[in-house]
Structure 1
Amino acid sequence: MRRLRKTLTTAVLTALLVGSTVGAATAGAVRPLDGPPPGTAAWRADDTLGVPLPDPATATPSEVAAFFAGLTDAQRQRLVEEHPTVVGNLDGAPVRLRYAANAPAGHQVLAYDPRGRGLIARVVGDLETATRVAVIVPGSDIDVSTSGRIARWAADLQAAAGDDTAVIAWVGYTTPSGIGPDLATGRLAEAGAGRLARFTRGLDAVGLPDPALFCHSYGSVVCGLAASTADARDIVVMGSPGMRADDTGALGTDAHVWAAKSPDDWIGRVPHVELFGLGHGADPTSPGFGATVLSAADVPAHDAYFRPGTATLTAFAAIADGAL
């Protein structure tokens, strides 16, 4: 009983530490964005092509890709013009069409959903010709309004990796907001994991290489839960509270798993436990976890793993372009 109380205390402490260091106001539980994109009803009702359009809620990315492959250029363009919010978020649709559909939201936007706090995926580099692809999965307090920070990380990684690599700043799930239980539970990560796995399968469906996933903070929980179903060649976690797995074998992936944690990162003060849904489990940088540990001795803070000049960015670039 004493041991149980100690474990429970540690789990509660995890929630408090993770929440109290993000520097935001206390928040209640966040509702994850789910369901098909806006405009789906009109898309489903559109019979002008003489065949049903792929249902955004049920069609696989490979089925979406096959559908668009059978259309003429004029037919594709009409769908972009009449159903931009569906085409712009449809995994498996051609990259160029998604850019065109999302053009009002910015340059090279691969996905944009304005509902709630908003979701967005921005691309740095030439995704259509890239021989290597990287996807950055952020942690808490990131949405459309704060996505510029992740886009800067993507730009720094792409610049270090080189022209053959395209980097996607994927703000594609509802992240925890402020201090609250969402930071210490896997509820939002579970919803995000499904979206991330589908996104990677969409890249595969249009002929792009399997990406390296770079997962920061709570984003590493998302990547841990997505690992078994995502198409990924590498999974890199940094500043991780855990991946909801005891070791790399429990992730159920063939991807190479890498981990980094700075000695100056506050995440090091978080106990790595998981009990009754609180906490995210083992430290990915611990010897028994099985990840390849990267040096992060010169990383000065929790949000500085992509800072130019750091050993982590150098290593991340080598992983992104396939040199490691």
Structure 2
Amino acid sequence: MRRYARTLVAVALATTVVTGTAGWASGNSQSPLTGPPPGTASWRTDQVLGQRLPDPERDTPAQVARFFAGLSEEERETLAVRHPLVVGNLDGAPVALRYRANALALRESDDPRYAGLAAGPGRQILAFDPRGRGQVAEVFGDLETADRVSVVVPGSDIDAGTFDRTDDVYGTPAGMARSLYARTGPGSAVIAWAGYTTPVGLGLDAATGSLAEAGADRLTRFTDGLTAAGLPEPVVFCHSYGSVVCGLAASRLHATDLVVLGSPGMRAKNVAALHTGARVWAAKDPTDWIDHVPNIEFAGLGHGPDPTSDGFGARRVPAGDARGHTGYFAPGTESLTAFAEIAEGTYG
């Protein structure tokens, strides 16, 4: 009987998600973007420096960092100019060099989706991959000198075209990161990381973990690259489906804290099952529609318990005035105040 009941719940979840019950949009199936950055083939065969270049796919970020530490400024610039899309996405490469390479790649792009990224004065683009729907990471603050670093991982419907859209600002990675940075003190930096293929709408992609699994691999390598570049371990903020990504990455992620907000679940039954040494925090506004998503994980559907539930074991973050699913970083909210204190290591 118990198995039958769970099956009914799973079927109900699938029906709800696929048909768009309660006004939710059906999603379009997405293929995750994996593998090394574009231009890797020519990078691998380039002998301009008379030595083997680090492999973007096989070498670790620590090996990449050691390679660049042995180059002159002129040699680094040569590689950035010849291979901007590789250097700009090469985890472990120097931060300033990645900014330079991505500025070059954006300048060379004629895709109108990236016009704002290319034209914005002072924008610090730490990653830019134009393939598919496009992936971007942007830094707010001085990352190279920061004492505290935060990374914002977004949920569904985020790509290069919606990375910093002007409507629903605090539902975008750039809007969330910019708002958090404005509330943190000197010596902080915040990275808006849209570095994985997100679900479109709330269809089967959003109800399963396949895109999150690919995203977890990319997030892990990205944060490994921050550590390899000599930066402090970050606080990682994970919104909506981004919390599924963070849950699957948790055991491998070098982070001081994981903060999930508006989460459908982390694909773990409790904090202990995440196998992480990071402090785990959870926030959910009572008006957030995510509360209507069944917290199950059965036959590949659903993402498990609500991280804000008592049995999960996460530290609760107040979010009573967050105003829905995308209001957690809105100025003046108690959730943003708490997030800033977590980012600075002073909360509680």
Which category of TM-score, normalised to the shorter sequence, fits these structures? over 0.9
What does the per-residue CA deviation read over 1:124-148, in whole Å, with 9 as the maximum and x for residues that have no partner?
A: 1111111000000000000000000
What does the per-residue CA deviation read over 1:132-166, in whole Å, with 9 as the maximum and x for residues that have no partner?
A: 00000000000000000321111110010123111
TM-score by length of structure 1 reads: 0.96
Contact 2:17 2:26 in 1 (8 A): no
What does the per-residue CA deviation read over 1:218-261, in whole Å, with 9 as the maximum and x for residues that have no partner?
A: 00000000001011000000110000001111101100000001
**What aligned pairs does 1:1-324 form with structure 2 within 5 A after superposition?**
2-17=1-16, 20=20, 25-103=25-103, 104=106, 105-106=117-118, 107-148=123-164, 149-324=172-347
Comparing 28-37 with 223-232, greater Cα deviation is found at: 28-37
> What amino acid is aligned across from residue 272 of structure 1 in structure 2?
N
Offset at 1:310?
Answer: 0.6
**% identity of equivalent residues:** 60
Q: Which stretches in structure 2 are left out of the alignment for 5+ residues?
A: 107-116, 165-171
Offset at 1:27?
Answer: 3.4
Q: 1:194 to 1:48 in 2, by over 3 A?
A: same
Contact 2:17 2:204 in 1 (8 A): no
Structure 1 residue matching 2:145: 3-state secondary structure? coil
What does the per-residue CA deviation read over 1:1-52, in whole Å, with 9 as the maximum and x for residues that have no partner?
A: x322321222233345456379675333200001111110110001121211
Comparing 230-239 with 24-33, greater Cα deviation is found at: 24-33
Q: Which stretches in structure 1 are left out of the alignment for 5+ residues?
A: none
What does the per-residue CA deviation read over 1:246-292, in whole Å, with 9 as the maximum and x for residues that have no partner?
A: 11111011000000011101111111110111000011011111100
Distance 2:22 2:161 in 1: 17
> What amino acid is aligned across from residue 98 of structure 2 in structure 1?
R
Q: 1:146 to 1:22 in 2, by over 3 A?
A: farther
Structure 1 residue matching 2:36: 3-state secondary structure? coil
- The number of residue pairs the alignment matches comes to 323
TM-score by length of structure 2 reads: 0.90
Contact 1:88 1:99 in 2 (8 A): yes
Comparing 253-262 with 175-184, greater Cα deviation is found at: 175-184
> What amino acid is aligned across from residue 74 of structure 2 in structure 1?
A
Contact 1:21 1:266 in 2 (8 A): no
Offset at 1:300?
Answer: 1.2
Distance 1:12 1:213 in 2: 33
Contact 1:80 1:100 in 2 (8 A): yes
Distance 1:27 1:232 in 2: 31
